[in-house]
Chains A and B, each alone.
Chain A
Amino acid sequence: MEQSSAIRVDLQLIADMIDPGARVLDVGCGDGALLDYLVQFKQVDGRGIELSSDGVNACVSAGLSVIQGDADTDLFDYPDQAFDYVVLSQTLQAMRAPKMMLQQLLRIGNRAIVSMPNFAHWRLRWQLLTRGRMPSSGVLPHAWYDSPNIHLCSIRDFVVVCKDLGARIERGLFLDQTGTPRRLGSGLVLANLLGEQAVFLLCRDESAHRPSRVIG
């Protein structure tokens, strides 16, 4: 595997949220780019789950601990708080039951890191409005008929579901279309309009009875 430290910008943002030496589960880890980075540069105890056998074979061949499996069903096996961080990068929208998935992430990880495409980005809104066809973009490149994405949502939708789940957003970042990361402000309007994708660091809100800040 290459020793290069260059990884996709959203993966870099995720990596920056992870403490060195932590126990990390990467759900839908693909070819293992993030895991490999975390193992090499942050000395994490890293594991992964991946559906595609090509991805799994690449990961295991590179010495990463990855299992071939379906996150929709396989996360239930893990004990509570088995990991410091559970990562779900660009995968939530392809899950059969995204809300239950988030619950599982928060159960087996002390923290969950979720990155997702924002379906409310202004360009997508504009495409639907003007062309009347399902929008696509660099982050969402598929045609409607062959897309693995079955549960797309907006940044605002995500913030709302976190609140429903009693999850606290410790950090939130969105990437505009130039790939520049920006902090999610207290108002969601701009982020929801300008964010092509977003990265959230979540934890279980142990003080859910208190009115909590939604955005950190």
Chain B
Amino acid sequence: MISYTGLRLHGPGEAFALPGHRVILGTDRPLRLDSGAELRAFPLAYQAYGRLNAGRTNAVLVCHALTGDHFVAEPHPLTGKPGWWSDMVGAGRTIDTDRYFVICVNVLGGCMGSAGPSEVNPETGEIWGLSFPVVTIADMVRAQAMLLDHLGIERLFAVIGGSMGGMQVLEWASLYPKRLFAAVPIATAAHHSAQNIAFHEVGRQAVMADPDWQQGEYWRHGRKPVAGLAVARMAAHITYLSETKLHEKFGRKLQDRENIKYGFDADFQVESYLRHQGQSFVERFDANSYLFITRAMDYFDIAARHGGVLANAFRETTVRFCVLSFTSDWLYPTIESRRIVHALNAVAANVSYAEIVSNSGHDAFLLDEPDFRRVLAGFLNGAAQHCGLAPTSSAA
């Protein structure tokens, strides 16, 4: 068993104390969700880096993945670990904050300050819990668009994201093609496959099977379904790696022992690693948020809205696309990215596509993959030139 003693679990309302920006949107006009529900006066937490230029033309929206957040380029306020793309976003880096104004928004349904199940429902004064409306990827994007309206940014230079972030990028291109110049969906797909949904269901069932989950009302009793959430994370984490990477990293090596113990301790290093992944995850993530966000991904299917023809989602698009995938990603395999590329070709869109050779699996987009960064930097630089964004001394 994993021990959770000594864990610091952040509670409802603590998000207010987090660094970064937090705005209340939807006070004049509510956000109408795909489910039909409406969100009024809801918070969105975001972080911004760099400076918006005078023409407001250099904004880059970075979209985070399932368990990411808006602390993209700075230490995580709860864990103290570096931001998830801190070596990617910054002055002189691939996404150069000397040149671009970078915004990252905690998604709707998240647990780091944006409206989600762990926030308080302003109408009842109670924590939302499972009564929070089910949101979709498109809803997340609509909320982001409202934030841009609030910030006075009419058009983004680029929207960039990997995995679920890539789904948001595709939704941006489909819902608001006139509001962005370039789109970079990375290691993603235009719909969530049956296999993807299956893995998510395993994770959700693990959370809900935890007696501490208490039908999602765990905050009432001061205990959280940490064991279930950790199992969900462990299962998901396997899907983020490749067999090659797992083998390279762990093989069948034993953990702090010479021989197997004929028991259920973590004999193998890989077990110990997964337990650590699960344990550290529950420190920073809310179980109900995990349910809501995985559900949003499962519902994701852009072609379905367009008569089953993905190309129709991008008809007449003027967006400059750069689709990127990784050879060893089996969660969102390159065939899914090719589908997106083929759909874009079918409407003669301006698209670049590179399949990056890597053995790091799905997680490659978070890791230091030189080819990936070179290609992305080159694409952004080329797009910026076409867009008329002057290079800075460090980006030249």
Contact = CB atoms under 8 A, between A and B. Distances in A.
A53 interface: yes
A47 B347 contact: no
A93 interface: no
B383 A63 contact: yes
A78 B378 contact: no
A62 B379 CA distance: 7
A61 B378 contact: yes
B148 interface: no
B219 interface: no
Interface stretch (A66-74, A137-145, A177-185): A66-74
B205 to A, nearest CB: 38
A66 B348 CA distance: 13
Nearest to A78: B345
A51 to B, nearest CB: 11
B335 interface: no
A61 B323 CA distance: 13
Interface centre among A57, A59, A78 (most CB of B within 10 A): A57
Interface in B370-390: 371, 374-375, 377-379, 381-383, 385
B352 interface: yes
B2 to A, nearest CB: 41
Contacts of A61: 374-375, 377-379
Contacts, number: 69
A214 B343 CA distance: 37
Interface in B349-396: 350-357, 371, 374-375, 377-379, 381-383, 385
Given A77-B342, A77-B345, A79-B346, A65 B375 contact: no
B142 interface: no
B contact face: mostly helix, strand, loop, or mixed: helix
A56 interface: yes
A35 to B, nearest CB: 11
B354 A57 contact: yes
Contacts of A62: 378, 382
Contacts of A82: 348
Give 6 closest A-B pairs by Cβ, nearest first.
A63-B382, A61-B378, A67-B353, A82-B348, A77-B345, A77-B342
A65 B352 contact: yes
Nearest to A70: B338
A68 B341 CA distance: 9
A68 B355 contact: yes
B342 A53 contact: no
Interface string A125-157: 000000000000000000000000000000000
Interface string A27-38: 000000000000
B355 A53 contact: yes
Interface string A74-96: 10011100110000000000000
Contacts of B343: 77
Interface centre among B345, B346, B385 (most CB of A within 10 A): B345
A205 interface: no
A59 B379 CA distance: 9
A74 B342 contact: yes
A74 B348 CA distance: 12
Contacts of B353: 56, 66-69
Contacts of A79: 346-348
Given A57-B371, A57-B375, A69-B338, A64 B382 contact: yes
Interface centre among A57, A65, A69 (most CB of B within 10 A): A65
B233 to A, nearest CB: 32
B59 interface: no
A45 interface: yes
B320 interface: yes
Nearest to B345: A77
A60 B324 CA distance: 11
B269 to A, nearest CB: 32
Contacts of B355: 53, 56, 68
Contacts of A57: 354, 356, 371, 374-375
Nearest to B381: A63
B322 interface: yes
B322 A60 contact: yes
Contacts of B379: 60-61, 63
A74 B354 contact: no
B371 A66 contact: no
A53 to B, nearest CB: 6
A63 B385 contact: yes
A47 B354 CA distance: 13
B377 to A, nearest CB: 7
Contact of A65 (B342, B347, B351, B381): B351
Contacts of A60: 322, 352, 354, 375, 378-379
A32 B245 CA distance: 33
B10 to A, nearest CB: 41
B314 to A, nearest CB: 12
A180 to B, nearest CB: 35
Given A60-B375, A61-B377, A67 B345 contact: yes
Nearest to B386: A63
A208 B27 CA distance: 66
Contacts of B382: 62-64
A59 B385 CA distance: 15
A49 to B, nearest CB: 9
